[in-house]
Structures are given as C-alpha cells and as structure tokens.
Structure 1
C-alpha cells in the first residue's frame, strides 16, 4: 500500500478530540448499561456515570498536561527523560502489550456480535480474520490518514445514535425510572468501577501530542475528547433504563442493540434499524482497532528501532488473531475484557500520573 503524502503533516486540536472520542466509543457502548444496572437500582446509574466521567476527565486533563510538557518527544523519550531508559523500555513494552490486547478484544467483539446480529451462519473465526485483514491494510498506510478517518466516521456515528435515541423516546415509561436515589454509595462506587474499566483512552494524548499543531492544547483536546463519550453514555443509559427498566437491562447481553431493535422509521424506509446501527458502530470499532494496532507498532518500533513498520504488521497480525480466539464463549470473552480493563487502568492512568508527579517534583520538562 502506497502512503498518501499530506501537505499538512500535523493534526489539529479538533482532530485530536475526534480521535480520542472515537477510540473510547467502542464495545463498551453496547454493554455498559447492563454493567451499571447490575450494581445500581432503578435510574441511579447516572450518578455513577457522572462520577466516573468527572474522574476520567480530570485524569485525562492531567495526562494532557504531562504530554504538553514534552511536546517534541515521543512517548519512549518522554519516559526516559523522567525516569531513565530502563524503565522507559519496560513501560513502552507494557503499552505495546495493552495495545495488542485491546486490538484482540475489539476484533473478537466484532466477530461475536456480527455473527449474532448479521451473519448467523458465518464462523466467528472467518469474520474476525476478515476484519483483522482490513485493519492490517489501513495500519500499513499513512498514520495521518488513519487518524483522520475519525473526522469522517465520528459525525456519522453520533448522528445515527442520536436518531436511535429520538425514535425510542416514545417508549419511555415513567415507572421504569422510579424510585430515585435508592442506591447506597457503595453500590454507586461499584458502578463507577465497572464503567471506569471501559473508559480508557485519554492515554492517546501521550502518543499523538507530538503530531499536534498546537501541543499546548493537549489538555483541552483530551478532556473534550473524553467528555463526548461520557455524555453519550449518560443519554444512552437514561433512555435504555427508561425503556426497559433496570431489572430487564440486567438480563440483556447487549442492551444498546436491543434498544435499536425497537426503532421504527415512519414510512418503512428502513425495516431493520439495528442493522444500520450495528454497521455504523463497526466504524468506531474499526478506528479503535486501527489506532490500537498503530500504537502497538509505534511503541515496539521505539524499542526495536531496526525493524520496519511493515515487518511489525506481519509479526503482530497472527499474534492479535490468536489472542482474539482465546475466549471460548461469551462468559470468557467478558472476563477477557474485564482483565483488559484492570490492566488498562494501571497502564494508561495510574503509571502516567506517577510520571507527572515525578516530572513536577524534579522540574523536568522539554529542553531541560
């Protein structure tokens, strides 16, 4: 695949916002209402979403401050300046493991849900392989082209989700959302934990600030980029609970897809809106997988500098596929995702915050 040559070799603040938002809106948007409903009563899950969103946006803003302190350094050099090269090698490799794991999880999710909703007679292995080949093709091209796909896909995704929400408002039932404020604080915090596991994405600012026209805008862009999916999660949760009730949502594997199934477009122009919704949702998964693949390659290249990008694509593709095929059923798949979430919180949020604290204490910044 020939790389496209761009005159503008930097991404704007708006593009960074779209990249982060599209990365976060992935598999979690289909399952999170069930996770929250399992921990909270009636309508109170919105409080957990609000708390989790506030915490995630604050942490993401701090990660943006860390990235803006080193606007000309890639991630490996950023860590090396703060802690030394040995730890930089270790942390960079851990990020590559997280990116590989994330790509594997996302493509397996596409395989499972596509088989369930669209191609019921097609083996999951073939669906997953086909999707991986598409992601592989895009990852072999220009990084800027890959990142700028988010400018095309995100508005379409948001428009379709908004349409689904508007057409399901008439199914809302007041009894499904009462009583209010009946959940204790420990249950609300459990909901925060469940949601927080699927809200990683702010760490992208540590890798892509070097590509920004205005790296000083990194804190603002990552905060707004995280705020978009949080607002989306809030509205989807409220409508899902209002339509189905929390008792029903606890027993739905993919509540958001069930919500889309209830949409009826006047005039019969679209008979199966859930198919359209799912097709559009694949766009966000595609972006998440592509960015994860790109991060895996970029981090490994910074450690093993003599191996080309194309070689890494050939090495990583079978590894990602084999990892994706490890879960044998949906229960193992969700456990696979929970473990990824715990690992991601530590790698993407906890350790970078420690790096920021060390950089502040030592007075380390770009050029020092």
Structure 2
C-alpha cells in the first residue's frame, strides 16, 4: 500500500480543532525527499515528560461505569485506530492521529500525586480505574514502571483499584496483584477485540497478540484475580460476527464476566477511521461505515448519553441480543465481585490504626 505506515493505526495527522495553523505533508515535499534519498517520516515514538498537578479524574459520564480514573500516560503507542481517547490529545496541542500514538506524555509524578490524593482526610474510598483513557501497560510502562509504582501505593493504603489493559505486561506485576486481591482490592479488565490475528494487527498494531491476552486472562484467573473481558468495541462488518465465539473463548480461559460497546467515532476519529479503512479494507469500507452509521442515527459521531455506547437500530439490537445469549450460555452463575471499600480509612497514614 502506497505511503502506508506499518505498525501504526492512524495513517495521518488530523487537524487540531484548537489550533489556528495546520500541518500538511505536500506531494512536492515527498518527491523532494525521494529524489534526495531522505526519509520524510521517521515514524518514531517520542516520550515527553509533563507535570500535571493532579492525577485522579472524576468521571461525570453516566454510561462509562466508573467514578474515578487515572492515566499515568497520555497518548497510547498501541495505536488502536478506533480509540475514543485520541480526541483528548488535542487538549495537549497534538493531533488525534499519528501524534496520539507517537508522542507519549509521561506523568512521572503519578505515584506521588495518587498518594497525596488518597491520603486526604475528606477522601472516601471508591474504585479508581487505571486506564480510563489510555492503557497503563502500553510500551512506555516497560521503561518508566509508573503503573507498578501506583499499584504499590494502592496496596500501601489498602485502596481499591481497577485496571483496563490489552497488554500481557500486566503479568509482570502479578506479585502485587495477588497481594491486593488478598484484601479484595483489585479487578482486572482485559480487552479482547477479535480472535483473528490479522484483524488484531490491523486494528491494534502494537498490542499484545490474542493468544497472549487469553493466556493473561487464564494466568490471572488461576491466581483467583477477578477478570472481566472487554469485548470492545464491536464494529459491524469487522468483528461483530465474532461476539459469541469471543465470549465462549474468554469464558473458557476463566473470565468471570464480559462487557461490550458498539463502536462510535467521535470528533477526529471518524476521519482517521474512514481514511484507515479505505486503505486497509477498500472492498468493505462502504459497508462497514454504513453499518456504523446505522447504529448511531445515521452518523459516525454520537455523543448522546445512554445510546452512544450501546448504539440503536436493528444492527445494535442484534449485537445486544447475541450478548444476552452469550451471558446465559457461557457465564451463567459467574459474577464479578465488588471491591472492598472498608479498609482504606484505617490505612490513611500508611499503616493500620490501632484505635
């Protein structure tokens, strides 16, 4: 494919809605680079330290399913082309496209900021989800280990924490996860989007393989750590036909439950996704785009609370009917436990109070 960037999801840098100027790669520049034997785009990942004042975010959306989230990294090298978090990179002056997966912002003070937050006298324990926006176990974690350090803070203060990831690197921290689980303080969500490696490599180019994710679910489950599988997003015409076998497979590997969302392409993501699918799946691009629009009132963009995550119409209805069948068939009798909110108050100074 001409000018196709391997190992990346987005194939362009969309305009930043907050900036006056735009960046354009012109054909004459590309031709100049070719004639001079120069590389127009090195396609390298850059880590940029940033210094936020807070790390824990209050989630106001009524249909996300979490009250608080935190993200040690902004931007995500996994490069999932559909990722809703892409739009947030524009707040930092970057593009939601290639910038999102190539300019990763590192919050080095994340563990200290977390500790400061949960030690506050008025703070009441409530599950804080790591990766509410971007994956806390993306490749940067191998170098900076911010997620591991934050888990150590949660353990020290006996505070409940949730994790969402599609990276097998979470098993590196199995020692801490097991200790957190001994107090019923941890729940892990593993994202599994497809059983096809071809689809996975195209949709999510720098994520762990499907087999590694399934083995991760299995390893966590064997250690009695509760796992929920995120079969999300469901994209009509790409992975919607896999819902039942996906549910069956994650159940066989030990998942206690599963969740799903119907893909939505808000803001710049619609342009990024449409450009991507016309380059990677030109034979079915129109069909897929049409079916996504059918789930969201005729638009790729859907911001309506209550329906934006679920979709509407016949296709969305069929997806949810299949999910209902999958839960009855493969998850009957399984429940994902509620986390312990009672211990933290006794450990606010880092050790259990005697009185």
Q: Give the TM-score category using the shorter length.
A: under 0.3
TM-score normalised to structure 2 length: 0.27
* Richer in strand (by share): 2
* Richer in helix (by share): 1
Higher relative contact order structure (alpha carbons within 8 Å, sequence separation ≥ 6): 1
